[in-house]
Chain A
Amino acid sequence: MDANELGWWGVPLAILGGAIRVGTPLLWVSLGETVTEKAGRINLGLEGTLLMGAMAAYGTAFVTGNPWLGVLAAAGVGLLLGLLHGLLCSLNRVNDTAMGIALMLAGSGLAFWLGKPLIQPSAPDLPAIELGGFTDQPAVRAALAISPLFVLGLVLAFGVHAALGHTRFGLRLRVVGDSEPAARAFGLQPVLYRVVATAFGGACAGVGGASLSLVVPGAWSEALSSGQGVMAVALVIFARWDPRRCIWAALLFGGASAISPALQALGYTQGYYLFAALPYVLTLALLVGLGKPGPKHGAPGELSLNR
């Protein structure tokens, strides 16, 4: 049978496929968080936003039968939650670390509460983009059946990079994130930019959640997210606030999660918990290596993490 030939080169194929599958939600959340952090705000509550997005996407797709409406609903819900975080953190004396964690608690609780009736039903999945039409081997075809949200994520990554680097809005947002006095000197209103950036971040996180519930694993459950929302914050740092590097970072983190099953399928089983820790060890090593991330690393000066 064809599959017998896969053997060893099935591993890189599986890892690539897995990296794309597991990395897509990470890509979306990290892109949103990159924009948020570039404006000088940190949102640790993306886990809750992601879950609310996943639940909203699944519910909408189930009720309407159209998964794309689900994605839209997820983006909308994420936008609202991001807006809430942005507005509340703009108030004086409100700590954005704490607010993020509190919103994570509230958001995930609400997602579980509202999502109770969604555990059983099956909602339609997003159709995959089949790139493997040239081959007969089902495994290759499957690995090359790319999630449309991954493709959109790639487009978004380049779009965000272009917007941040080459548009007036992007420049202003970066100034707001780098130095508030400079922003005010230019007559900008930092609060406005930060709220918009946080809302955008929330919308992206919502779509990331939709990727979980409508693509892989393609179901709603309370164990759906194993910390992807929080992992994305580490990812943004790992990517040094560059949207294009977010793509590689998301693939790396996603691949690390996918390595374990791929190796097990071939019979290697040692230390599978340690693989789970690998992305975090890498991020920590990067942080230690970077020292304090400065402007040359793309780090926004106003970000509370860098003060």
Chain B
Amino acid sequence: MSTAAMPLAAASASPLRQRALALADALLPALAALAIAVLGFSAAVAVAGHDPVEVWALIFRGGFGDAFAWQNTLQRAAPLILTGLAVALPAQAGRVIIGSEGALVLGGLAAAAAGTVLAAQGAWLAWPLMALAAALVGGAWIALAGWLREWREVNETISSLLLSFIAIALFNQAVETVLRDPASLNKPSTAPLPDTLMLPPLPGLDVHWGLVLGIVLALLAWGVMRLTPLGLALRVAGGNPRAALGVGLRVPLLTIGACAAGGACAGLAGAVEVAAVHGAANASLMAGYGYTGILIAFAARFSPTGVVPVAILVGGIAASGSLLQRRLGLPEASVQVLLGVAFVALIGCETLRGRLLARFGGR
């Protein structure tokens, strides 16, 4: 290399190179995780006696192969977007909440109760009130975890987990006794919602409006975080609480608020499940959406908009389990293993972030 040409080359290639490097660095963890997950799961099914290529083809077909598969996937993704937000939003303020399952069931209960009380009203009056009830109850429950952290420095991860178990016990007790519909003899349940109050499916699709609610809330959260002073305040409070306090931000209020927002999303997930799928609050609400949402939020690195594609991917993989069972006799647990391995890989490959930049960047 001639010494005369070098400075010129360095000056013009550097920004592009930097950007390419930044992109590669950002993609590396995800791609590495993908490779590990694919190889790992392929090895597992091969040991179980199946052809990995056939398995992957079925997974693709079952989750994303045709319109029916897509509807199945989106239907499953709808509550996952909301429970993913339930973890992603408090995380913006630096709080790791893992108790969204509890907020979900309590929110669903509140919505069912509100719907029963408002049964005679029109949907346009009842729905916002049901949503409000669910959001308030779910939000308050997680805000409690946030508040305990502020008041007594109780770690919110543990307290939200404990509160989740308590919430599930309260839910079971209420559904079987106080709020039980006397006609629901063989499956304890709250009074069923009238058909007028059931959420309809999206026009032309077999997916309910809960999907749209989730996407709208995700976009709203992104907008608030990126475009408003509140979002900035939240990020500062989450990133460096001392600095935030130093500039006069009301950190406790912000963090509890973020927790409440997350809890509200979880509550709304419960409300949507009640109003769009079950028509009443009962044990079927506890389908593990809360715990899957935790992993989705982590995988999306707490980005509210990132939660949406991850939730859809997870929904698609989960949806393919049915096809795998019927065609290959692979048990439902195999899909759970795939998701688990994928998450382990994704969370583990975070360690690769920044390594490319450190090694090759900044000349």
Contact = CB atoms under 8 A, between A and B. Distances in A.
A237 B158 contact: yes
A85 B191 CA distance: 45
A86 to B, nearest CB: 12
A296 interface: no
Interface of B: 48, 96, 98, 148, 152-155, 157-159, 161-163, 165-166, 169-170, 172-173, 176, 291, 294-295, 298, 331-337, 339-341, 343-344, 346-348, 350-351, 353-354
A288 B154 contact: yes
B108 to A, nearest CB: 16
B351 A112 contact: no
B169 A105 contact: no
A44 B295 CA distance: 13
A135 interface: no
A215 to B, nearest CB: 24
Contact of B153 (A91, A98, A227, A291): A291
B331 A305 contact: no
B170 A112 contact: no
A95 B350 contact: yes
A110 B47 CA distance: 13
Contacts of B354: 93
A116 B157 contact: no
A132 interface: no
Contact of A273 (B98, B158, B159, B176): B176
Chain A contact residues (Cβ within 8 angstroms of B): what range? 35 or more
B334 to A, nearest CB: 6
A26 to B, nearest CB: 14
A109 B148 contact: no
Task: Report, nearest first, the 4 A-B pairs whose CB atoms are least far apart.
Answer: A106-B340, A109-B336, A292-B153, A277-B169
Contact of A233 (B158, B341, B347, B353): B158
Nearest to A291: B152
A139 to B, nearest CB: 30
A102 B347 contact: yes
A48 B341 CA distance: 12
B348 A234 contact: no
A284 interface: yes
A165 B157 CA distance: 28
Contacts of A108: 336, 340
A305 B158 contact: yes
A276 B169 contact: yes
Interface in A59-116: 88, 91-95, 97-99, 101-113, 116
Given A116-B331, A305-B158, A306-B155, A271 B173 contact: yes
A173 interface: no
Given A93-B353, A101-B98, A305-B157, A284 B166 contact: yes
B165 A227 contact: yes
Nearest to B164: A280
A281 interface: yes
Nearest to A107: B340
Contacts of B332: 112
Nearest to B291: A101
A230 B162 CA distance: 10
A274 B174 CA distance: 10
Nearest to A275: B169
Contact of A110 (B169, B337, B350, B353): B337
Instruction: Find the residue from B159, B162, B294, B339 having the highest chain A CB count within 10 A.
Output: B162
B326 to A, nearest CB: 16
Contacts of A98: 294-295, 298, 343, 347
